[in-house]
């Protein structure tokens, strides 16, 4: 049989979806000729099962290396395609396929990189480079990376994203390769601890001390920097700490929080925090909370954060007075 007759016989052994996928990208004239062979075989009823199995086995054999029976893309590109298609068409497809895996690998490395690694990889890069990379990331990760860049870099990168220059595929490809190479050398690297992270650790340590000693140390911090002292006080208890608050302490604090504010604070909240709060309010309060949530319009992020600060306020006051109890802290 000729190459096209074998191709036609092979297609008859496949389901419609697979056959369609196999023909993707083949020249229309080639498809026409193969289809004519299909029609001839079908009309002559010469497509017996043994012949189909023989052709399928021959095709399968061409996809495997003789040594270890593993798939050989090189053999497939150099031998099988040439037999099924014209030499020029096979070469065109071969070149396209060879380029594609490299692009996908680069994209994969950028998408799978940790936020810290991406920030370090983009340090000192041109705004256009940063804008291209941020555009390739999903919105959440792009936001995380952007928030950790310097203010000047943020502004320049965002300006490039809102008023982008025309970036050709080759330039974009070189940027992806360059960033991917940098990511390899930064594997496992982390950013230096930010000031608020260090202050959070200090706040947790101070909150576990006796009130007299805690207040004495806070007063010393205040003498040096009032703003730092205020931040340490606020970081002693945050919205994320609610699951670690003892039930009775949480129940007492939530009594002074308006259900409307609480409903707003719980919008999009972590499931663990939501469950902790709902399990520490009465059924009547829970019904009111649900009603407030159903009447609420889509809130802005700033409104949610403000509402959470309101909800945490009585907890902070109880903590300042030494009346707040924790679980596992």
Out of 47-56, 134-143, 186-195, 316-325, pick the least confident: 47-56
219 and 260 assigned to the same domain: yes
Task: Name the token pair of 64.
Answer: 């495997």
In the Cβ-directed half-sphere of 314, how many Cα atoms lie within 13 Å?
13
226 and 314 co-located in one domain: yes
Last residue of a domain, one of 185, 214, 249: 185
If asked whether residues 223 and 291 sit together in one domain, one would say yes
Between CA 263 and CA 311 the distance in angstroms is: 10
Of 312, 319, 233, nearest to 265 by C-alpha is 312
Instruction: Report whether 316 contacts 237 (CB < 8 A).
Output: yes
Rg of the chain taking only CA atoms, in angstroms: 32
How do residues 71-122 score in pLDDT, each as one tens digit? 455 656 666 666 666 777 767 776 766 665 444 445 677 888 889 899 898 9
Q: Are residues 286 and 245 in the same domain?
A: yes
Both structure tokens of 240? 């994320």
3: pLDDT confidence band, cut at 50, 70 and 90?
confident
Structural domain boundaries enclosing 235: 195-320
- Is residue 99 assigned to a domain? no
On the CB side of 122, CA atoms within 13 Å amount to 27
Residue 96 lies in a domain: no
Q: What is the pLDDT of residue 264?
A: 95
How many folded domains does the chain comprise? Answer: 3
pLDDT digits (tens, 9 = 90+) for 114-163: 898 998 989 888 999 999 999 888 888 898 899 888 888 988 988 888 87
Are 62 and 142 found together in one domain? Answer: no
- 137-166 burial code (b ≥16 CB/10 A, e <16): beeebbeebbebbeeebeebbbebbeeeee
Encoding tokens for residue 244? 């670690």
How does DSSP classify residue 80? Answer: I
How far apart CA 109 and CA 105 sit, in angstroms, is 6
Asked if residue 8 lies in contact with residue 37, where contact means CB atoms within 8 angstroms, the answer is yes
In a domain, 91, yes or no: no
Q: Is it the case that residue 258 has pLDDT exceeding 70?
A: yes
Cβ neighbours around 193 below 10 Å, total: 10
Q: Do 72 and 153 have their domain in common?
A: no
Question: 21 and 112: one domain?
Answer: no
> Does some domain include residue 154?
yes
CATH, residue 292: 1.10.220.30
* β-bridge partners, 326: 245
């Amino acid at each position: 049989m000729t190459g096209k007759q074998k191709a036609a016989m092979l297609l008859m052994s496949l389901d419609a979806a697979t056959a369609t996928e196999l023909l993707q990208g083949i020249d229309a004239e080639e498809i026409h000729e193969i289809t004519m062979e299909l029609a001839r075989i079908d009309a002559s009823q010469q497509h017996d099962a043994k012949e189909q199995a023989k052709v399928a086995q021959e095709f399968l054999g061409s996809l495997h290396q003789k040594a270890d029976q593993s798939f050989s893309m090189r053999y497939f590109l150099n031998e099988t395609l040439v037999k099924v298609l014209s030499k020029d068409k096979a070469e065109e497809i071969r070149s396209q396929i060879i380029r594609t895996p490299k692009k996908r690998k680069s994209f994969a490395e950028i998408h799978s990189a940790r936020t810290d690694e991406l920030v370090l990889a983009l340090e000192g890069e041109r705004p256009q480079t940063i804008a291209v990379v941020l555009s390739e990331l999903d919105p959440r990760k792009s936001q995380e990376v952007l928030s950790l860049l310097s203010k000047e870099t943020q502004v320049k990168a965002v300006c490039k994203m809102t008023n982008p220059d025309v970036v050709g595929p080759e330039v974009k490809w070189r940027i992806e390769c360059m960033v991917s190479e940098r990511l390899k050398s930064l594997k496992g690297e982390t950013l230096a601890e930010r000031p608020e992270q260090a202050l959070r650790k200090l706040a947790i340590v101070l909150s576990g001390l006796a009130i007299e000693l805690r207040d004495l140390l806070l007063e010393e911090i205040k003498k040096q920097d009032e703003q730092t002292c205020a931040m340490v006080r606020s970081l002693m208890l945050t919205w994320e700490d609610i699951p670690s608050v003892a039930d009775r302490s949480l129940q007492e604090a939530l009594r002074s929080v308006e259900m409307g504010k609480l409903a707003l604070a719980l919008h999009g909240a972590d499931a663990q925090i939501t469950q902790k709060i709902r399990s520490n309010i009465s059924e009547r309060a829970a019904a009111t909370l649900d009603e407030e949530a159903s009447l609420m319009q889509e809130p802005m992020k700033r409104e949610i954060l403000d509402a959470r600060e309101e909800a945490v306020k009585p907890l902070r006051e109880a903590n300042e007075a030494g009346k707040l109890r924790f679980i596992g802290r």
